[in-house]
Amino acid sequence: NAGVMQNPRHLVRRRGQEARLRCSPMKGHSHVYWYRQLPEEGLKFMVYLQKENIIDESGMPKERFSAEFPKEGPSILRIQQVVRGDSAAYFCASSPRGQGIRELFFGEGSRLTVL
Amino acid sequence: KNEVEQSPQNLTAQEGEFITINCSYSVGISALHWLQQHPGGGIVSLFMLSSGKKKHGRLIATINIQEKHSSLHITASHPRDSAVYICAVNPGSEKLVFGKGTKLTVNP
């Protein structure tokens, strides 16, 4: 049973470009969470999604960031017109169901560097 | 003040030592998680607690809900235990709130 798969593991973008980060949850998991880890800071919640629904995006910046979890395929975190401050590690986690979060299974993270 | 405070921030130990990492939180919670992150690596969930104590191998996690405090203990520490240990709480919603982590280095 494959774990949570994130790709790319490393992504370099120039300012103004777009970054797309993908997360395939564990088999049978329909709840996906995205977190951001800025250098020298703790993890911060960004968004919680179920299949085809955004449940809670209160941790996501209002501008330039969007997330989706389509019926088929991985969850996507999209950052438009990246700036240097977007450089961070982005982690995805999945859970079989919400309701106060059962054990979370994390991916290896995607490390975004903005030049 | 952060909702989740960990101490110490950094910890260096000799192989074989007993290690304690502390986590205090200021909000009501439904569960607390201990996570492990190796340098440049992913995050592994070690424990999820809502009360009492859990043990897995050389790792023990305890929680005192009344005192809003949890500890992670490592017995007979080993260099491969070197990692950042992160405490996270679930305040009843789907959002986890994380501490800043404790960086543990175990020297041979």
Q: What is the pLDDT of residues A85-111, one digit of tens each?
A: 999 999 999 988 755 556 788 999 999
First to last CA, chain A: 37
Residue A10, number of CB atoms within 10 A of its CB: 12
For B85-105, what is the mean pLDDT? 90
One-letter amino acid at A78 equals: R
One-letter amino acid at B73 equals: H
Q: Looking at chain B from residue 31 to 60, which residues have their Cβ under 8 Å from any Cβ of chain A? A: 31, 33, 35, 41-45, 48
Per-residue pLDDT band for B93 (boundaries 50, 70, 90) equals: confident
* Most confident by average pLDDT, A39-43, A65-69, B35-39: A65-69
B88 touches A at CB < 8 Å: yes
Q: CA-based angle B70:A35:A37, to the nearest 5? A: 80
Rounded to whole angstroms, how far apart are CA atoms A60 and A5?
21
Residue A101, number of CB atoms within 10 A of its CB: 23
Per-residue pLDDT band for A15 (boundaries 50, 70, 90) equals: very high
Per-residue pLDDT band for B1 (boundaries 50, 70, 90) equals: low
CA A23 to chain centre: 7
Per-residue pLDDT band for A41 (boundaries 50, 70, 90) equals: confident
Closest chain B CA to residue A93: B43
A26 touches B at CB < 8 Å: no
pLDDT at B40: 76
> SS3 of B93, please?
coil
pLDDT at A104: 81
Nearest to B38 by CA among A74, A81, A109: A109
In which element (H, E) is residue A85 found? none
Average pLDDT, chain A: 91
Instruction: Establish, for the pair of chains A and B, how many residue pairs have beta carbons separated by less than 8 Å.
Output: 61
pLDDT over 70 percentage in chain A: 94
Rounded to whole angstroms, how far apart are CA atoms A13 and A84?
9
Contact state of A104 with B42 under an 8 Å Cβ cutoff: no
Nearest to B106 by CA among B81, B69, B85: B81
B10 touches A at CB < 8 Å: no
Residue B74, number of CB atoms within 10 A of its CB: 20
How close is the nearest chain B Cα to the Cα of A111, in Å? Answer: 9
One-letter amino acid at A114 equals: V
pLDDT at A9: 95
Which residue in the block uniquely carries the two structure tokens 């950052």?
A79
Closest chain A CA to residue B92: A100
